[in-house]
Structure 1
Amino acid sequence: MIFGVLPQKKNQYALRILGNCGEFTSEELLRLSELTAKFGNGKITATSRGTFELNGVSESELEPAIEAVQAAKLRLGGTGATVRAVVACKGTDCRKGMFDVHAFACRLDKEFYGIDVPKKFKIGVFGCLNSLGKAMAQDIGVMPSFTEPGKFEIYIGGLLGNRPVQGKHIPVPLKEEMVADAIRYVLDIYKTNGIYPQRLRTVLDDKKELWQEINYYFKSLAK
């Protein structure tokens, strides 16, 4: 299946459109609306990861719709066995946000989005303790530190779906510049030890020594 295309019922398809870590310009939304009216069923679905899906594209219109999305300079993707688009809360503008969440998430998205992995891999960046549950639902969730201002807490191995599991807290607060190194290390572990269709949490729980390796690495970063 083409990247960013999702099969639907009645032999139809949806096109998943990515924004800039959940943000879309008014011009992008207008272009998406026009394409939905032309190629889809006139309905756009918002997803939990800040993307939009253009619904109801027939098989005969699929290729022209994809070409039109690309011509409109909209970002088609966010499917398959890859690192998915990084999700960010509204902490940049929210009064409770403790740092520039969107800018941080965009830096991570630029580095990690689209990397091939055994199944899929979700990263989330959140701006305050009110989003603790969301951070714990990611393969890697990033939040401001509870104990050390200016640093970040990391949660690893969260899952939603039909077998929800809370991500484990790694009790080593990291400076912002260390977070990408930590994610890179966890991704390398996943790619080295995982096979399709395993998610990160399954890999880590099957080889529990990997949890210890992650803890050791985080401690080395924090020194």
Structure 2
Amino acid sequence: MLPKGANLQKIREGNRTYAITPHLPGGFIKPEVMQKYVEVSKKYGGTMKLTSAQRIMITGLKAENIESIWEELGMQPALGFANCVRSVKICPGNAFCKRGKQDSIKLGLELDKRYIKKEMPSRIKLGVSGCPNSCSESFVKDVGVIGTDAGWDVYVGGSAGSHPRLADKLMESLDYEDTLRIIDIVMRYYQKHADIERIGQFIERIGLEKFKTDVLAEFYGEKSAPIEPKVSQSAAGEKIVPLPGGLTEGNLVFGDQITGDSVISDIIRVYPQTIPVFRSFGMGCLGCPSSAGEPVTQAAEIHGINMPELLAALNKVVPANN
């Protein structure tokens, strides 16, 4: 198991090094907190790294020092677990930037307070940009908000990674309260209906029109049609194509044995009962972009896991082998 709030960074000659990333809402940090970073990094031989999520990572750490480091920092990890709201990226907005149209700091910090670490079907990232320059990369966030002279425009379904997707515009020219309300509806709708898939993948599966119709129906107080339940096997029990819940490069179907070449996203879609198995081996990041094209062999090597043991544990819960 991973040390508290740590990520495995490297395995060299059997030695493992880890990184920790404390939570810094909006990337704002007081001088005395920065000083703690410096003192801890010096004491434990770590290196500080600015991240794309407006945080400061300390990397190059040993497992046995992680608990002491958290105590000395007096801070909390940025992530609770893999599939949650991982970050809310915020630009300076009209509080600090001459081009800012809206107060992105106020909105972004409120979104951080409401959603950070909240459990989701997959990893989720939010971006709040105070003007159309989109310095917070709102167009490639699961939920992105962009300020204009008329208010806030809300976008959904963006992502970067190995399968990039530009977000779709959901609503425009909203005030502060309505922006928070529509985002809350989007998050609840996604939680209720999605599988282990990013919002963009979820939209691709059910269709943008369906997504917008249902979400806007709740926003305007109307009723929407239910989403048809997903089926993993036909009544006759024959093999079927993997459910199209996310973008993938594999071809695993129900009834197949899991091999070293099986792609992780296929495995968890066709055999969702394998999720606790992966997590028990310390592989909690099942919704990350790499899982869409990463075979078990490669993932096991990266995480330093005994591949035969992992395969045996996975196939133990597969119906075809029981």
Tell me which interval the TM-score lies in, with the shorter structure as reference length: 0.7 to 0.9
Give how far 1:132 is off.
Answer: 7.0
Give the superposed CA RMSD. 2.0
How much has 1:213 moved relative to structure 2?
1.6
Offset from partner CA, 1:64-106 (integer Å, 9 cap, x none): 223323xx3x232235211123110122201111222212211
CA distance in 2, matches of 1:2, 1:107: 30
- Normalising by structure 1, report the TM-score: 0.87
Q: Which amino acid aligns with 1:5?
A: A
Residue among 41, 49, 53 paired with 2:57: 53
Distance 1:58 1:3 in 2: 12
Instruction: Give 1:2 shift.
Output: 5.7
* Equivalence map 1:102-113=2 (5 Å): 102-113=105-116
Q: Secondary structure at 1:96's aligned position in 2?
A: coil
Displacement of 1:126 after TM fit?
0.5
Structure 1 residues 171 and 187 mapped into 2: Cα distance closer, same or farther (>3 Å)? Answer: closer
Q: 1:194/1:2 Cα in 2 relative to 1: closer, same or farther (>3 Å)?
A: farther
Range 52-61 or range 202-211, more displaced? 202-211
* Closer, same or farther: CA 65–103 of 1 in aligned 2, 3 Å: same
Are 2:40 and 2:72, in contact at CA under 8 Å, matched by a contact in 1? yes
* Stretches of structure 1 lacking an aligned partner (at least 5 in a row): none
Unpaired segments ≥5 residues, structure 2: 222-322
Q: How many residues align?
A: 212
Residue pairs, 1:83-98, within 5 angstroms: 83-91=85-93, 92-98=95-101
Which residue of 1 is the match for residue 71 of structure 2?
A: 67
Larger relative CO (CA 8 A, sep 6+): 1 or 2? 1
Q: Distance in 1 between matches of 2:98 and 2:129?
A: 13
**Contact kept? 1:47, 1:53, Cα under 8 Å:** yes
In the aligned structure 2, how far is the partner of 1:2 from the partner of 1:176? 39
Over 4 Å off, 4+ runs? none
Q: Which residue of 1 aligns with 2:165?
A: 165
Letter in structure 1 aligned against 2:78: G
Q: Which residue of 2 aligns with 1:212?
A: 213
The yes-or-no answer on 1:7 pairing with 2:8 is: yes
Q: Secondary structure at the match of 2:83?
A: coil
What pairs with 1:18-167 in structure 2 (closer than 5 Å)?
18-41=23-46, 43-69=47-73, 72=74, 74-78=75-79, 80-91=82-93, 92-131=95-134, 134-145=137-148, 149-167=149-167
Letter of the structure 1 residue corresponding to residue 76 of structure 2: R
Q: For 2:88 and 2:135, how far apart are their aligned partners in 1?
A: 16
Q: Computing the radius of gyration over CA atoms, which structure comes out larger, 1 or 2?
A: 2
SS of the counterpart of 2:18? strand
2:201 maps to 1:202? yes
